Structure 1
């Protein structure tokens, strides 16, 4: 009756001894089996090859837990730790390489844009401007002669003197300006000389000097060029030429009313009633055919194009990540079709959403083709812009890889 107790005690001793010496679970099971055999207890199925191996003992899981606890934790320290020297070297190599590439790209691309703007004032001679004399009398002829001689220092417009019969009436001139055939058109109105003379002789207080000349231009064609060059240069030319004409005609008129050495009191009274017939005598009216009066349009035409580039780049990177999951299992032609069709489909809702944002802020899209036509044209313009940039990024990401494709985007 004491055998089971002795057996249990001996097994416990050997188990503790095996754990202390790091023996395996199998060795522990073997020793225990030998003790059972020596104690008269038969164990016939301990090492039967036809049966699955016995469950690992609790001791084996304990040793595994001890091994896991003994595994050293990953090192974490300061950036200046000596053991991080190799990684730190690689880190700085990547940063310096990227900085050098960006500096090189900066000097390759930025001078093109900077140079285009730095000498823009010298290129104003390429901006075509028309001068049309419908008067054909003293006012029109004097102004034509003055404009031909007008040559101030600095930038100038390319003035062309058009035959009134060739350009049609003022409505035709306005249409040509809107269709971007010319940047600005200065039109001396019919009978300008007659109206001025009649107002002087009769002392017409209702005479308006600004009806003598009309200036047609379209600010929305290019608000920067219009504001910096077209309007200022045209205004300076008209100011110089009309002032010179007013001085000449005033001297001539006063010489007429003082022909006998005594001024004509009646004529002086008439001039007092209508002094605008002497100065400025003639002036002009600026007619802005297409005003740039939507502040939100600047966001669309300038910064908005940068946003479109960013959105296209995002879709390109998303498509690169997504197709990596299945590209290894696809044939070549379906793979190429996937890379082309998926971006084209993705650009459609993006372009529509962008166009709807413009509508939400009441951009004047229906100036020429109506609201519906203007909206569709703007949508297709945005869509084609995203397709042009996005598909070029899709092509270049294969060559440059996602790591360097941002340099192509720049």
Structure 2
């Protein structure tokens, strides 16, 4: 009886249980297997690859060891880079003061043969060279008849760059000063009697401190000595001579400070913004070329697999050159809103602008293709190390003139930075002879020839290495 009464209730419970199991089974069957594979929380199969661990977990011992070894290797490589490459730049600045004797300087003595002023100044300067005094220049006496006018001196110092500085003692200066004292010449001025000619824009980082300053100091020392000597002799000779004392009273400057070293800056560095393109901007050109190289490397991966070798070489050579032309215009035009004068060489603003564009283009091609070759040789993983070497090797020889950096740095005469900088300073400041631009372009073109010849070789080696790795 009871069994019969409970049967409908139990049957109902069994039916509900079956429905629940069926619903659960249906939900499990409807679950997205792809979603489960990427969801470590809801996935039924927590595989080893989806579990997360702490850094020091035993399960990550192998991966952790590999990671730390690679970091140690990287640290070692960068440490070697610091000592082996950074030291090049440090070395270029070291003992710069000791190399000033490599810079030629002229003495143009127009004083009479027995003129005390001219002889004293000349002797002080020559003794600094003979005695190897600190920060001395290589002083040479030149025939004043070879440079009779201001224009001749300017051409020799600023255009031909035959000397870094020239000290000129004006015509018959000793006798002229004696006459001015005797006649009481109130118009006598100490300026312009002893002139120091130099071209600051030739090397604005070195000339003010390493060329002009020590020269001024020595010339003023000589002037002080000879002025005191001549003043004492003159005062002793006119003692009790009222007429001479009256004349001297009319021109006291002839006895007090009769002479002064007068700097004559033939090519002043009067555009501070020029520091951007002529120094730091050279580094930016390398960085721009690196970005082009890395972008080209990334974008060509799909197409280069299906290119013939000749087509691959043409693509990797010509495509960056076209890009560099656009970037060269952008780099040059950047100077326009900042009023960089492209007519410093007095051949026209437009001519200066286009010369700047072309030189930047050629320089960027050289600097960029060197990086392009490097990526074929060392691979993208080591291109950063090469870039540091490439930049520092170039920068080390443009901070100061190469003669001030020691024998090791003579390699700089063959690198792109010094020649590109010289072209820029000629356009903006009119330094050097204009014909010298062809020489600087010639060095850059020589680089292009070498790159054109060797470029296919590096690409062939790279392709062979890639194919070998793919087969293995």
* TM-score when normalising by structure 2: 0.70
* Bigger shift: residues 101-110 or 131-140: 131-140
1:267 pairs with 2:244: yes
* 3-state SS of 2:206 partner: helix
1:203/1:349 CA distance change after superposition, 3 Å: same
Aligned to 2:437: none
1:330/1:130 CA distance change after superposition, 3 Å: same
* 3-state SS of 2:335 partner: helix
Give the alignment partner of residue 209 of structure 2, picking from 216, 228, 234: 228
Give the alignment partner of residue 267 of structure 2, picking from 283, 286, 290: 290
Q: Following superposition of structure 1 onto structure 2, how do residues 42-57 of structure 1 map, counting pairs within 5 Å? A: none
Alignment partners' CA distance in 2, 1:184 and 1:237: 13
Deviations 1:30-89 (A, max 9, x none): xxxxxxxxxxxxxxxxxxxxxxxxxxxx89952665965424382334433333332222
Unaligned runs of 5+ in 2: 1-14, 38-42, 389-472
Aligned to 1:361: 338
Deviations 1:152-200 (A, max 9, x none): 7312011111101223422111112112221111111224234312221
* TM-score when normalising by structure 1: 0.80
Unaligned runs of 5+ in 1: 1-11, 23-57
CA contact (8 A) 2:274 2:340 kept: yes
* 3-state SS of 1:215 partner: strand
Please, what is the CA RMSD of the aligned residues?
2.7
Aligned positions, number: 359
Aligned to 1:402: 380
Aligned to 1:5: none
CA contact (8 A) 2:216 2:261 kept: no
* Bigger shift: residues 314-323 or 377-386: 377-386
Aligned to 1:205: 186
Aligned to 1:27: none
Aligned to 1:140: 118
* 3-state SS of 1:325 partner: helix
- 1:269 Cα shift? 2.2
Give the alignment partner of residue 86 of structure 1, picking from 62, 81, 105: 62
1:160 pairs with 2:137: no
* 3-state SS of 2:196 partner: strand
| Greater relative CO, 1 or 2 (CA 8 Å, sep 6+) | 2
Deviations 1:361-380 (A, max 9, x none): 11233211332222222222
1:191/1:81 CA distance change after superposition, 3 Å: same
* Bigger shift: residues 163-172 or 131-140: 131-140
- 1:228 Cα shift? 1.7
- 1:222 Cα shift? 0.7
Alignment partners' CA distance in 1, 2:236 and 2:297: 85
* 3-state SS of 1:235 partner: helix
Aligned to 1:193: 174
1:64/1:152 CA distance change after superposition, 3 Å: closer
* 3-state SS of 1:211 partner: coil
1:146/1:397 CA distance change after superposition, 3 Å: closer
Aligned to 1:280: 257
- 1:274 Cα shift? 1.3
